[in-house]
Structure 1
Amino acid sequence: MKAKFLSLLLLVCGLLSNANIQAQPLELIDIKINQLTLSVELADSPKERAKGLMGRKTAKPGMLFVYNSPQETAFWMANTLIPLDLAYIDEKGVIVSIIQMQAMDESTHPSPGEVIGALEMELGWYAKHQVKVGDKIEFVLADQ
């Protein structure tokens, strides 16, 4: 399962890195958490990850940050106008931490170790949908 998740992640990263998406809104990708299927924006380049949801007035539809390999990282809310929930995701697709971040807060929120990604949603989203640490995030392939 770990190999399958990493293979899908690398495939998505490779396909999108070749596309000219910088001048357009971020690509949407379908993911599944528990019984929920949703489309979120994919931030998989350093530039997209650095900008994230800065300057936006809404977190919808959510943003999935993906890294090429597992790494320690940290998020902050500089220039982010809205409060957010952030879930760190390990290389197996498992949520290893969920934190709440306040708008315009410049303190850092480090990952609890190496992660392959993070999912930002509007504040309270994880509690509202009963998503918790230990739940799994999976990519939904177009032919499923």
Structure 2
Amino acid sequence: MKKSIISALALIVSTAAGAQQAQLELVEIQVGPLALKVELANEHDERVAGLMNRRIALPGMLFYYPEPRHMALWMKNTLIPLDAAYINEAGEIIDIIQLEPHDLTSRPAPDKVIAALEMPKGWFAKKGIKVGDNVSIPADVKAYY
């Protein structure tokens, strides 16, 4: 009896530790010349969780806000290295930053932004995407507080 209770508790703990978030809604965006589908974090709780506790960053995640704001990213409970692009209201990439797992350093955008796009480390460089390139988000995509 005691052994089965301990086994059950160990299973619950290991399952919870390895649990992954459910994938969010996918949205098709244009990044420079590339069309891609990424997860959309357009509600507060989704943006707070971001890619925490995930083992892969594909297909990427768009953090989308209802209006331009000062924002910063950090890597609390994030297991994988990422690159992130800050996107202003005009859809222009104004900065691309590198983020390392578990780094609690706040990495602010240089100005107000409407979105941030997190992708696997090296993705922007590999695809030739740079500061000044445009990101198109469909007009029907909404963001909430």
Amino acid at match of 1:43: A
Contact 1:73 1:111 in 2 (8 A): yes
Q: TM-score, normalised by structure 1?
A: 0.80
Deviations 1:89-132 (A, max 9, x none): 00011000000000010111001110000000000000000000
Number of the residue aligned with 2:18: none
List runs of 5+ in structure 1 lacking aligned partners: 1-22
Q: Determine if the alignment matches structure 1 residue 126 to structure 2 residue 124.
A: yes
* Alpha-carbon contact 1:63-1:120 (below 8 Å) kept: yes
Equivalent residue for 1:54, pick from 36, 52, 55: 52
Q: Which runs of 4+ in 1 moved over 6 A?
A: none
What is aligned with 1:70?
68
For 2:92, give the aligned amino acid.
Answer: V
Structure 2, unmatched stretches of 5+, are 1-20, 141-145
Q: 1:50 to 1:34 in 2, by over 3 A?
A: same
Q: What's the counterpart of residue 82 of structure 2?
A: 84
| Identity score, percent | 50
Aligned alpha-carbon RMSD (Å): 1.6
State how far apart, in whole Å, the 2-side matches of 1:72 and 1:141 are: 22
| 1:30 alignment partner in structure 2 | 28
Distance 1:66 1:131 in 2: 19
Q: Deviations over 1:43-90 (max 9, x none)?
A: 011100000000000000000000111000111001000000000000
The equivalent of 1:95 in structure 2 is: 93
Structure 1 CA distance for aligned equivalents of residues 68 and 137 of structure 2 = 17
**What residue is the counterpart of 1:16 in the other structure?**
none
Structure with the greater alpha carbon radius of gyration: 2
